[in-house]
Amino acid sequence: MSSPVPVSDPSRAVTQHRDELTAAMGAVLDSGFYIMGQQHGGFEAEFAELLGVQHVIGVANGTDALELALLSVGCERGDRVITAANAGGYATAACLKLGAQPYYVDVDEASLLLTESGLAAAFNALPAPPRAVIVTHLYGAMADVAAIATLCRRYEVALIEDCAQAAGARLDGRCAGSFGDVGTFSFYPTKNLGALGDGGAVCTNEPGRAEQLKKLRQYGWGSKYDAVIPAGRNSRLDELQAAVLRTRIPRLDADNERRRGIHDQYSRAVKDGPLRMVHQSDSSFVSHLAVVLATDRTAARSALHQAGVRTDVHYPTPDHRQKISSDRLSALRLPVTEWAAEHVFTVPCFPELCDEEIARVCDALSAL
C-alpha cells in the first residue's frame, strides 16, 4: 500500500527546487547582511509588482502583519473591529493584543466569507461605526471585497484584507490586498507563497501609511536610533526568508493554477448531497485549502483515512467559542459559523501532489 496522501508537505517543493534555494541562501550567507539587506528590498519590490500595489513592507509573520495593520489605521484600546469568527483566530489575536474588541459577524452560508450585506447590517446595528473591518479571504477565496471597500469608505471605516491564504488571488484583475486600506500576508511554509520559516508582509497604496508601517515594524524609528512614533517594535522579515520568497514569486501564478486544477478535479468527484466543496474555481480563488462540507464529517474523514487520504479541520472552534472569549460571548449566536465548524474538513491540495495521489483523493471522495 502506498503512503498516505498528506494534507500538506512543504518539503516536496524544497526537494524540487533545492539547487535554486541553496544558491539563494548561499548568496545571503556570502553577502554579510542578514537583516534588511538587498534580498529584503528586492522581495518588497517584486511582491509589490506582483500584487499591483505601491508598497509592500516585510514583517516577521502574518499575525504581526495584522497587528501592525490595525495600528496603522489608528486602532486603539477599546476600539471595535468587525471580523469573522471562522478564520482561525488570527485577527482576534491581533485585536486582543491591542486591547481592541473583536465584533463577530456571521458568514455567508455558500462561501463561508463575510459579505457586504452582512457588514452593512452590522454597521447599522452598532451605535457607532467600528474602527476597522478585517476581511479574511478564507481558504484562498476572495470575499466580495470591491463592494465591501465601497461600504467601508461610505462609513469611513478602515478595511484590512487578511490575504494570508490568498496570495495571488485576483478579482476582476486586481489582487487580493489591493482593495482595502491595508492587506496582510503570512508566509508560513504551507501558504501558497511560503517561506522556510516565519515571514509576513503588509501592503498598501498610501505612501504615508507605508512610512508609518516601516516605523512600526522597527522600534518606531524614523531613521537609525531615532524613535519618532510610539508602539514601534521589532517585526522584520529576515534576509534568508526574503531570498527564499524571491525564488518563489515567479512561480506563484502557476502554482495557484495547479491548485485550482486539483480543486476542480475534486469538485467533479464530489457528489452533491452528503458532501459539498466550499468554493469554485475562478481566478478569485487560489485554493489554499480544499474544503469539503459533510453531513457526517466523522464518517467521511474516517472513510478517507481508510483509503489513505489524510484530512484536517480548518477550523474546529469558532473564535467566540474559544476559552479566551467564551465567558464574555456565551450569548452570541453565529449559526452559519457554528454549523460550519462542525461540518468542514480539508483534503490534500498543494501543487506538488502527484497525479496518482490526486486520483486517489478523487476516488475516495466519489466513493463517499
Ligand X SMILES: Cc1ncc(COP(=O)(O)O)c(C=O)c1O
Q: What DSSP element (H or E) covers 300?
A: helix 297-306
Q: By C-beta, is 168 or 362 nearer to ligand X? A: 168
Task: Examine residue 168 and tell whether it contacts ligand X (CB under 6 A).
Answer: no
Whose CA is closest to 357, among 298, 294, 296, 290?
290
> Is residue 161 at the binding interface for ligand X, with CB under 6 A as the rule?
no
Could you tell me which stretch among 83-91, 119-127, 332-340, 343-351 binds ligand X (CB under 6 A)? 83-91
- From the list 1-9, 60-68, 70-78, 115-123, the region that binds ligand X by CB under 6 A is 60-68
The reply on whether position 188 binds ligand X by CB under 6 A is: yes
Q: Binding marks (x or -) toward ligand X, 131..150, rule CB under 6 A?
A: -----x--------------
How far is Cα 61 from Cα 58, in angstroms, rounded to an integer? 9
The three three-digit cell numbers of residue 347, written as one number: 483534503
Shortest gap between Cβ of 19 and ligand X (angstroms)?
A: 27
Task: Name the residue nearer to ligand X (CB basis): 200 or 348.
Answer: 200
Q: How far is the CB of 245 from ligand X (least distance, A)?
A: 13
User: Looking at 69, 87, 244, 262, which residue binds ligand X (CB under 6 A)?
Assistant: 87
What is the DSSP secondary-structure string of 200-223? EEEEES-HHHHHHHHHHTBTTEEE
Q: And the C-alpha cell for 93?
A: 489575536
From residue 137, give the alpha-carbon distance in Å to each of 211, 287, 328: 26, 11, 27
- By CB neighbour count within 10 A (0-12 exposed, 13-18 middle, 19+ buried), where does 92 fall? buried
Site string for ligand X, 275-314 (x = CB under 6 A): ----------------------------------------
Helix, strand, coil percent content, the chain, rounded in steps of 5? 45, 15, 40
Strands (E), 140-268: 158-162, 170-171, 174-175, 182-186, 200-204, 221-223, 226-227
> Binding residue for ligand X (CB under 6 A) from 39, 72, 178, 186?
186
User: Cβ distance 160 to 24 under 8 Å?
Assistant: no
Give the one residue of 180, 189, 200, 318 binding ligand X; rule: CB under 6 A. Answer: 200
Position closest to ligand X via CB: 62
User: Does residue 210 belong to the site contacting ligand X (CB under 6 A)?
Assistant: no
Q: What residues line the site for ligand X (CB under 6 A)? A: 61-63, 87-88, 90, 136, 162, 164-165, 186, 188, 198, 200
